[in-house]
Structure 1
């Protein structure tokens, strides 16, 4: 069944209804400001693998996030809900559609990965499958690779795996436990595996968190979502490292993102999603 096309107004209504954007998104102001300060202090977890061209103090970070995301621009506002401007969200989704359309035209290869496997794997997977239908090759290298990742409590052992065409990180101790991660290590491992096998790097990386920043830092066009507390992708976009960072809440039910992927595919003039 082909889905009906979404108008921009309908998508904005969807974003507001599910609090993916709007005046009171789930990530509170105090959480945003904490992450802005951590990025300004060059905290490795906040950098997500990015090596910024210049020092970004908390004030410069807030100014950028107000511009790119639509958060409240005043540091004096320290508690309560914060904002993602839905118009900025849709603008960025349309830029992401342009990135997909360009990749489809040249039948480029695509690698998709997510640090939010229980939330965003379906979003990335829908885009990747549409590109595959358009003649693009999907890459899922380094499956089964084990690695250690730092955590606030120490370290954990992880395994690179996939949900459909989307690379994810699983716990080495529980095959069913999908892990949330900001680390660039998974995309570095995947790209290193391609190089070791004598294969070319992908023409596009779809992802979030460290998947975006890690790929962008290596010069690979990358695009995908970032929440209002995820500074690194927006700094990377501002500095020209990441092609597109889409401001939106990244912790909603996975079904909420179906309308967004449908809209991107519609704007990219790619094959419609089929149930």
Structure 2
């Protein structure tokens, strides 16, 4: 599946399934262990703001309901007595969700929609989101990159963190304000992993202030999915098997498409996934 930089690769479902298993993006033993999953499921059931990621659930989710949800959407073990060891993501659920994401992207491209892209995984997922964004731009969609330099404070368990919005190409990311060189430029290591919905809220507010219409599609993860979906904007992207909120939003109809996949692997691992989505969306030189 390796190709020259910027060139989509021809990849079929069987080949991508093999890739998912080889790199443990899905399969019987993904990197996120069972005890970590259950801890996050419990936090969501208890209404922890970080776990909600900006979602306002329409129904109560107790721990049993959360486990049933994640077993259905991701393929984790449904056994509440299984509390320690590896957990799993069903690769066929991943592939089915990638097909749904491709359909969402194809519909957006067909109507030349406006697209906003952001990630809470700036060291892992920008290549995946960026490939989709650039293909949509080439298809005639408007790519929004608002709110660069917009500052905000992200709540932490022991205080707050000063942050600023920035862009990696078409993908909006979050940087730590204390990561600056003497000239005031961001340092390479200041990119922040965040579950917060504040970045997408700030980006949408900046668009409104500039007199631009809301996006027709938000691509992302974590708070980007939940924050956009809560405001009624179609949203699609990736989520790990310990991230309940996007899947709860999808189940309730708030989030359009969520792809279950390990989200902490090296960035190059996600290139075949974006190639596959673009192929399925007919935004690639290759077709099935």
TM-score by length of 1: 0.98
8 Å contact from structure 1 (residues 134, 271) kept in 2: no
8 Å contact from structure 1 (residues 262, 272) kept in 2: no
- Which structure 1 residue ranges, 4+ long, deviate > 6 Å from structure 2? none
8 Å contact from structure 1 (residues 48, 209) kept in 2: yes
Deviations 1:230-263 (A, max 9, x none): 0000000000000000000000000000000000
CA distance in 2, matches of 1:133, 1:272: 13
**Residue equivalent to 2:182:** none
The 1:80/1:209 distance shift into structure 2, 3 A limit, reads same
Are positions 1:209 and 2:207 aligned together?
no
**Residue equivalent to 1:134:** 139
Match among 243, 262, 269 for residue 249 of structure 1: 262
RMSD: 1.0
**Residue equivalent to 2:183:** none
CA distance in 1, matches of 2:50, 2:267: 24
**Residue equivalent to 2:78:** 73
Match among 102, 124, 128 for residue 129 of structure 2: 124
**Residue equivalent to 1:181:** 194
**Equivalent pairs, count:** 273
8 Å contact from structure 2 (residues 9, 275) kept in 1: no
Match among 151, 159, 162 for residue 157 of structure 1: 162
1:153 deviates by: 3.0
| Bigger Cα displacement from structure 2, 1-10 vs 18-27 | 1-10
CA distance in 1, matches of 2:283, 2:150: 33
Deviations 1:162-221 (A, max 9, x none): 111000000101122100000000000000111111110000000000000000000000
Q: Secondary structure at the match of 1:95?
A: helix
Are positions 1:85 and 2:90 aligned together?
yes
1:3 deviates by: 4.3
CA distance in 2, matches of 1:70, 1:52: 22
1:271 deviates by: 3.4
8 Å contact from structure 2 (residues 241, 262) kept in 1: yes
**Residue equivalent to 1:17:** 22
Are positions 1:267 and 2:280 aligned together?
yes
Structure 1: give runs of 5+ residues left out of the alignment. Answer: none
1:32 deviates by: 0.3
Are positions 1:43 and 2:56 aligned together?
no
CA distance in 1, matches of 2:233, 2:79: 34
**Residue equivalent to 1:168:** 173
Deviations 1:17-71 (A, max 9, x none): 0000000000000000000010000000000000000110010000010000000
8 Å contact from structure 1 (residues 22, 86) kept in 2: yes
The 1:272/1:189 distance shift into structure 2, 3 A limit, reads farther
The 1:4/1:142 distance shift into structure 2, 3 A limit, reads closer
TM-score by length of 2: 0.93
CA distance in 2, matches of 1:127, 1:233: 19
The 1:103/1:91 distance shift into structure 2, 3 A limit, reads same
8 Å contact from structure 1 (residues 158, 172) kept in 2: yes
